[in-house]
Amino acid sequence: LKRLRLVDRCFRDPQDCVSAICSILVQHSSLEVLDLRSDSILSLPNNFGQQFPQLRELHLDHNLLTSLPASLSMMTRLRVLK
pLDDT of residue 79: 97
- In angstroms, rounded to a whole number, what is the distance separating the alpha carbons of residues 52 and 62? 21
3-state helix, strand, coil in the chain (%, to 5): 25, 15, 60
Give this prediction's pTM: 0.79
pLDDT in tens, 17-70: 677 777 777 777 788 999 988 888 888 888 888 888 889 999 999 998 999 999
Alpha-carbon distance of 31 to 13, in angstroms, equals: 24
Look up residue 6 and give its amino acid: L
Q: In what side-by-side order are the strands of the sheet with 57-59?
A: 3-5, 33-35, 57-59, 80-81
